[in-house]
Structure 1
């Protein structure tokens, strides 16, 4: 389940998006809605959603001004706006997607699907995962890689060496991890 909030000064825009999310994206739990940037800031900091649907053109504080005031942006940002001229600026704000109003159902579903696929990518450290995963199945070969030992196709000798996985990917083995890895196969 992914959580989301909607920030839009137009009530009908909020209602339309809420209904589309309810009807077509059941994996989204809507945590709240805000009618302006100030409310939106408070809602983001209070609820810590996975996704923020943000309108750009709002009175007093527009969407970009609101984003400037956030100390950190640890959510997927999806702009929902009637104006396409902000697309380039939205990219600079690391927008995950940019949906034009009225929001197209298929584009909305596609954006949510891509967020779900990225939710598989995590914001934890490799050490966190190394501690969570069973050591008899998973092995950290390098500071950047943890592999499932059941999917090793072959070991390629070298300073630390490399592992070829069954899917054709090659993973580096750090020199300091080489002996520990080879012990797993003895």
Structure 2
């Protein structure tokens, strides 16, 4: 049984999540509901909380300010947010659980099941702090994502985007080919990373390939359109993606020459 608290400043959001959990998640016990970070801290002081459903954008203190308290109480956090697409990219890039409002029942069930499993394991604290710091910086400063967290089974591996040479699809997995590192295989599909990564730097050139333009050496049409990377690898560009690829290269060249 998971001890859960809900933290949200909107009454409708609080009550709807409460009823969704009550009706669909038998292994959840709701200890309390809070309208603010201050009220949530009181609940954490009085209950042994396993899981927090936490809104981010609240008046006064935002949801991130509750994170140290959650960590001290060994509670898992799931963000509930109506944030825009950019914010969702930042959250996904840091491998943090979130539910997009209005909350979907199936996604809620999946999140609760995942939280049950994660509670048996604890992320390395340094990794957790770094991921939250990356997320907070990206959201508060509107900065472009510079690091990404890759789930590795026991926790997460933090890598800089400039370490990624290319990403290769392998069925329902994505294989990251990294500079000066061994490959990392992640149990997520390539499309998820296509949506997260900065589109002015990373281009999907084939149904099974995303390349980092920082590592592009040349492209040619000798054997159909193909790219040659700085490590010598040659990768085909699909006919359907060729025009988009060449436009992205032109934009990338212009942007890098302006720096």
TM-score band w.r.t. shorter chain: 0.5 to 0.7
Instruction: Give aligned pairs, total.
Output: 122
Q: What residue in structure 2 maps to residue 27 of structure 1?
A: 27
What is the rounded CA distance, in whole Å, between the counterparts of 1:111 and 1:119 in structure 2? 12
Note the alpha carbon deviations across 1:76-132, whole angstroms, 9 max, x for none.
10001111443355468873x110001110000001111222344479xxxxxxxxx
Q: Give the gaps of 5 or more residues in structure 1.
A: 124-186
Note the alpha carbon deviations across 1:124-148, whole angstroms, 9 max, x for none.
xxxxxxxxxxxxxxxxxxxxxxxxx
Note the alpha carbon deviations across 1:6-44, whole angstroms, 9 max, x for none.
000001000000000001001100000000111112212
> Contact 1:77–1:94 at 8 Å: present in 2 too?
no
> Contact 1:82–1:101 at 8 Å: present in 2 too?
yes
What is the rounded CA distance, in whole Å, between the counterparts of 2:21 and 2:71 in structure 1? 28
TM-align CA RMSD: 2.5
**Deviation, structure 1 residue 59:** 0.1
Q: Give the gaps of 5 or more residues in structure 2.
A: 124-259
Q: What residue in structure 2 maps to residue 59 of structure 1?
A: 59
Q: What residue in structure 2 maps to residue 36 of structure 1?
A: 36
| 1:1-186 map, 5 Å | 1-68=1-68, 72=72, 74-84=74-84, 85-87=86-88, 89-90=90-91, 95=96, 97-121=97-121
Give TM-score scaled by structure 2 length: 0.42
What is the rounded CA distance, in whole Å, between the counterparts of 1:90 and 1:42 in structure 2? 26
Judged with a 3 Å threshold, the aligned counterparts in structure 2 of structure 1 residues 88 and 74 are, in CA distance, closer, same or farther, namely farther
Larger Rg: 1
